[in-house]
Amino acid sequence: MQKQLTAIIEREGDGYVAFCPEVDIASQGDSIEEARENLREALELFFETASPNEIQQRVHSKAQSVRPSFN
């Protein structure tokens, strides 16, 4: 099963920070595209190296704490 994750990308100084709130992982880059690609690589590394228990805890705990807001 494939899960879709969120990428929040914000300008910070001269670059960009990309953050995935579902697993609390962030990365950065000089452009939006580079920040997104660096985040993708960080997420791939996390999912390749983390234990199934760590993955389940992070995704489960973040999913419970994230509340959608419709403004």
Per-residue pLDDT of the chain (71 residues; tens, 9 = 90+): 677 899 999 999 999 999 999 999 999 999 999 999 999 999 999 999 999 999 988 887 765 555 444 44
What's the pLDDT at 4?
87
Handedness of CA 27, 31, 36, 40 (dihedral sign): negative
What's the pLDDT at 59?
83
What's the pLDDT at 64?
55
What's the pLDDT at 58?
85
What's the pLDDT at 70?
47
